Amino acid sequence: MNANVPFSVTVHPYRPGYAAYETGSIGRKNAIVFIGGLGDGPHSVQYLRTVAKYLEGAESLSYSLFEFRLRSSFSGFGTASLADDVADISTLVKYLRSVGKEKIVLFGHSTGCQDCAEYTNYAKHGSSPVDGFILQAPISDREAFKLEFPDTDKSVQVAEQMIAEGKADHIAPKEVIPPSLGLAVSAYRLRSLLAKGGDEDYFSSDLDNATVKKIWSRFDKPVLVLHSAKDENVPRHVDQKRLNKLYQEAGAQVSPLSDLIPNTGHTVRRDSAREWLGERIVEFLKTLA
């Protein structure tokens, strides 16, 4: 679909300075809340136009799609955290409940998948419960950035030293930040992204079985896990098919519809892959009815 074609949204101001943008058939009784990855924000992930089309066609399921701006959206991620994201998501979920939405599904892309995994730590965050999750491109930031910036061990050492000195919120030195992250990344966020056992280390291929089980058993509602089969941010040695199967075995709520999106990269650019994604999401939503 042409990204330059205008489209309509309904704007929901839900607290001072914040708004959510509803697309698809407006005013349906259920909601999907989309959470993008690092550098994303409202309307930056183009495959959502296809997903919205499929949701419109599935009238009996009665879902519309919501995007919104988190504190971490666009360049804000460098000084934010998953905990910030969870708080922002939970605020929107509470608003959607207040206007009568019956089922709410969180849909994460890339680091938005880490947000979804963090969201399930209800004891830590007190986040407002939802009815399901969709994870698209749940990859390891730690492994992905090592492809671009091999000396991430030094980055972690510098970040940990700054944190020990009480400088967790200070911006890390330019020379230890992977270039694709930009310049404004705090010591805390750098460690969170790059360290083994960091706050965002949910999907690395070298996690032990006990850790994997702990992560996926925390999902108390159905979760659809969709890796991109040709994800350019995944190292060649990582077998995503094995990981997808491992996650299905580790979590009782992981849907058997979980799979690899065929013949596509991280952001699902191929039209045929976007159609596959839209169809699979509708199939999953039917299981929540």
Neighbours of 46 (CB within 10 A): 14
Instruction: Please give the pLDDT value at position 1.
Output: 47
Instruction: Lay out the sheet containing 63-68: strands in order across.
Output: 10-15, 18-23, 63-68, 30-35, 104-109, 132-136, 223-228, 259-261
Q: What's the pLDDT tens digit per position in 185-236?
A: 999 999 999 999 999 999 999 999 999 999 999 999 999 999 999 999 999 9
The mean pLDDT of 70-98, rounded to a whole number, is 97
Chain-centre distance of CA 128, in angstroms? 17
Kindly indicate the confidence band of residue 41, based on its pLDDT and cuts at 50, 70 and 90.
very high
The mean pLDDT of 266-279, rounded to a whole number, is 98
Instruction: Please give the pLDDT value at position 240.
Output: 98
The mean pLDDT of 70-97, rounded to a whole number, is 97
The mean pLDDT of 161-183, rounded to a whole number, is 97
pTM for the full model? 0.96
Mean predicted lDDT score pLDDT of the chain: 96
Does position 3 have pLDDT exceeding 70, yes or no? no
Q: What's the pLDDT tens digit per position in 106-135?
A: 999 999 999 999 999 999 999 999 999 999
Residue 278 and residue 224 in contact, taking contact as beta carbons nearer than 8 Å = no
Q: What's the pLDDT tens digit per position in 229-258?
A: 999 999 999 999 999 999 999 999 999 999
Domains of the chain, CATH where assigned: 10-140+202-286 (3.40.50.1820), 142-201 (no CATH)
SS (H, E, C) the chain: CCCCCCCCCEEEEEECCEEEEEECCCCCCEEEEEECCCCCCCCCCCCHHHHHHHHHHCHHHCEEEEEECCCCCHHHHHHCCHHHHHHHHHHHHHHHHHCCCCCEEEEEECHHHHHHHHHCCHHHHCCCCCCEEEEECCCCHHHHHHHHCCCHHHHHHHHHHHHHCCCCCCECCHHHCCHHHCCCCEHHHHHHHHCCCCCCCCCCCCCCHHHHHHHHHCCCCCEEEEEECCCCCCCCCCCHHHHHHHHHHHCCCECCCCEEECCCCCCCCCHHHHHHHHHHHHHHHHCCC
